[in-house]
A and B are shown apart, each in its own frame.
Chain A
Amino acid sequence: MKNNLLEISELSVAFSDEENVLSRVSFSLQEGETLALVGESGSGKSITALSILQLLSYIGATHTGGKVKYRGKEMTPETASHIRGKEIALIFQDPFSTFNPLQTIEKHFSHLFRYRTRVSKKNWQKKMISFLEMVHLPDPEMLLQKYPHECSGGMLQRIMIAMALVCRPKILIADEITTALDTTVQKKIIGVLQGLQKKKGFSMIVITHDLSLAANIADRIVVMDGGKVVEIAPVKDIFMRPLHSCTKKLISSLPKSAFQAQIVLE
């Protein structure tokens, strides 16, 4: 059996004086594994990602119980600041949390290279371009000179992915990162991530509302509903033998065209 790289146990989160938005969320992530986190809009997926990285104070929420262990050690806001971005990279759902509108794309990368890597300055430019090419962005030299608002939605998503990969994370948490990509680019990017995963052996938590994407990328699927984890199972079981009504609802509301072959639900 492989080691648990990340262990989330009984995690609860609340916004000031309100009831919990996450209640006793538990799941684990193994080395080299890909988990998909799915569930209705507002079920707590993004908050789960933020709380793993101890970023709750930024949104005015607090842990009310439970813990997160990375490589067997409990994460605290102090230790998390060293792990964040280096060992565990989070790609945010909305690009506005990642980009500074007043800085070019090049500036964003320089900042990463300076503070998060040991790449020597004379190699930065070359590296930036190779990272942008890796995520299939055309004309990378030109792109580096652009400001975020001069890039399309799908370009920003790919730049965020490239930036997250710069530090060679052990865990990549990706929150809805393919929503602005056309189907061909989407397939390529997922291929890139899976290829890197094979080569470098990192783990992924993919947050997505797109079950057909989850079905193609995940080893196991975690289904959330109302701030709780309601089902965790290998991807095949989720589709063949869904147990929770919420999982069944998610699957049955997919259009027919989303299946390669008809799946009959019991």
Chain B
Amino acid sequence: MLLEFQNVTKRFLRVPSGFRRKAEYSMAVDDVHFGIREGEIFGLVGESGSGKSTIARIIVKLLSPEKGRILFDKKKVLRQSKAEGKIYRKQVQMVFQNPFESLNPRQTVASILEEGVHLHFSHREEGVNKEAVRAIVEEVGLPVSSLQKYPHEFSGGQRQRIAIARALILAPKLLILDEPVSSLDVSIQSQILTLLRGLKKKHGMTFLFISHDLHIVRDFCDRVAVLRNGKIVETGETKEIFDSPKSEFTKELLDAVFRVPNFSREEGK
């Protein structure tokens, strides 16, 4: 296992304590337990508001859990030393659900991408890093001219791809993708997914893939965990979950998928 997420609990203040009121908490992540194997694509699906993004934020240490343990490469993630933390942050990258969260509006795409590269690969020659920046932009399907532009000059889907490029260029061991292709049309989606699959094959990169799009999850993930209300309702091989879901909730999710109706039958009437 590359990442072990062990019995993690995270709660948020529901009502601030104050006059005549006791603080109330809500459980965003409730005793959640799963492991991600090295080199696999692990899918996290489930109810909206069930705690998926919170789990992602806990893994990248933007939030700290009340209870539980996280192991990365068998080493503890919580309460790392400063030096350990620095290495960890190199190895684990995240693409946020909303790309604006991670893209500084005042930086050009070139400087957004170069910043990370310089920090992480300071030993490399300048030219090598510049070349890497150009290459990654093309790999996510954007023209090289994008480098001189600012994030607001892009469409929603283009911005998502910049965020993906920024995470990929740092060559993390584990990449967390929170709804990374949610506003991309199918052909760009498959271009990005093919790119990610290639990285998995070539570098053994590992992915945590959060998505509501069950067509994509079925196609792309090796294993899946289904989340509801802060709890995992089932985990298993993707095929197993999709072909013979055990929980009622998973069945509901699968049944509710929109499909293109059979127009030819209507026409025959």
Contacts and interface: CB of A to CB of B under 8 A. Distances in A.
B49 A155 contact: yes
Interface of B: 12, 14-15, 26, 45-50, 52-53, 97-100, 152-158, 161, 179, 182-188, 190, 212, 214-215, 218-219, 252-254, 256-267
Contacts, number: 160
B15 A182 contact: no
Contact of A216 (B182, B190, B258): B258
Contact of B212 (A42, A47, A183, A236): A183
A120 interface: no
Interface stretch (A23-31, A65-73, A81-89, A184-192): A184-192
A59 interface: yes
Interface string A172-216: 000110011111111100000000000000000000011111011
The 4 closest A-B pairs by CB, nearest first: A154-B48, A41-B157, A179-B182, A183-B256
Nearest to B159: A94
A236 B264 CA distance: 8
B264 A183 contact: no
A258 B182 contact: no
Contacts of A259: 259-260, 262
Interface residues of A, number: 57
A176 B252 contact: no
Given A41-B188, A180-B212, A209-B184, A254 B260 contact: yes
Contact of B156 (A40, A176, A249, A261): A176
A258 B261 CA distance: 9
A46 B260 contact: no
Given A175-B156, A209-B186, 9 more contacts: A93-B183, A182-B48, A184-B256, A187-B258, A239-B263, A250-B187, A258-B260, A259-B259, A260-B261
B262 A182 contact: no
Contacts of B262: 259-261, 263
A254 B53 CA distance: 27
A236 B268 CA distance: 12
A176 B184 CA distance: 10
A15 B155 CA distance: 13
A186 B212 contact: yes
19 contacts: A40-B185, A40-B187, A41-B158, A42-B155, A46-B155, A94-B100, A152-B52, A179-B179, A180-B212, A182-B46, A183-B254, A183-B257, A184-B253, A212-B260, A215-B259, A215-B261, A236-B263, A258-B260, A263-B263
